[in-house]
Amino acid sequence: IENRGHLGFKKDLMENKDGLDYEHSVMVIAALAKFHATSFCFRKHGEVEMVKNYPALKDGLSFPDVSEETIKKLGKLFKTYPKYEKFSQLFLGYTDKEKLILNSNSELFGVLNHGYFCRENLLFKYKSNHDSILSCSDVIFQDLSRCHYGSCVLDLLQFIFTSVDLQVRNNFMADFVCS
């Protein structure tokens, strides 16, 4: 909501890249986890019924269309990493039309979602290391106009498939999803 440019936050430094590198991706996922955990604790410990108390959070919620091919690829990915296979149903719950059910476990996994969690809505702060090498030190989210209540998986998947470099995503997908 507040302009943070004067505090050193700016768009990522990878202007010529198709997506974020591993360092930026891990920083974003950690910040997203804190964002989700805060709303989860608010709901659970404060015994707040999010949608009942904040009805605007259910407006504008739409689920992406996910192709059968994508679902199969995700299934293969989880089988490649047996230690993560137990988490696969969080991502691969099927409906009659074989689309993802991303809001089915909202009692267990329901959180405040950003709603438009992509590269354009991320600002980073950098610190200078030796030899003028910049490293990412903090990240904040912009544009909370599409916030909604739903599964914690929604923002994570949106980020991974819209903002992470393809090679990084291919190499670290299971780590990102299960972290």
On the question of pLDDT at 78 being above 90, the answer is no
Query: What is the C-alpha separation between 104 and 168, in angstroms, rounded?
Result: 29
Contact 36, 141 (CB under 8 A): no
Supply the DSSP string of 138-169, one letter for each residue.
Answer: EEEE---TT-EEEETHHHHHHHHHHHB-HHHH
In this prediction, residue 98 carries a pLDDT of: 37
Mean of the per-residue pLDDT values of the chain: 78
Confidence tier at 37 by pLDDT (50, 70, 90)? very high
Query: What is the C-alpha separation between 161 and 64, in angstroms, rounded?
Result: 12
In this prediction, residue 131 carries a pLDDT of: 57
Residues 119/123/127/131 CA torsion (nearest 10 deg): 40
Confidence tier at 177 by pLDDT (50, 70, 90)? confident
Q: Using CB atoms within 10 Å of the CB of residue 76, give its burial: 0 to 12 exposed, 13 to 18 middle, 19+ buried.
A: exposed
In this prediction, residue 90 carries a pLDDT of: 61
Segment 10-36, tens digit of pLDDT: 888 877 788 999 999 999 999 999 999
On the question of pLDDT at 104 being above 60, the answer is no
Segment 114-160, tens digit of pLDDT: 988 889 899 999 987 665 567 889 999 988 888 888 888 888 988 99
Strands 110-113 and 148-151: antiparallel
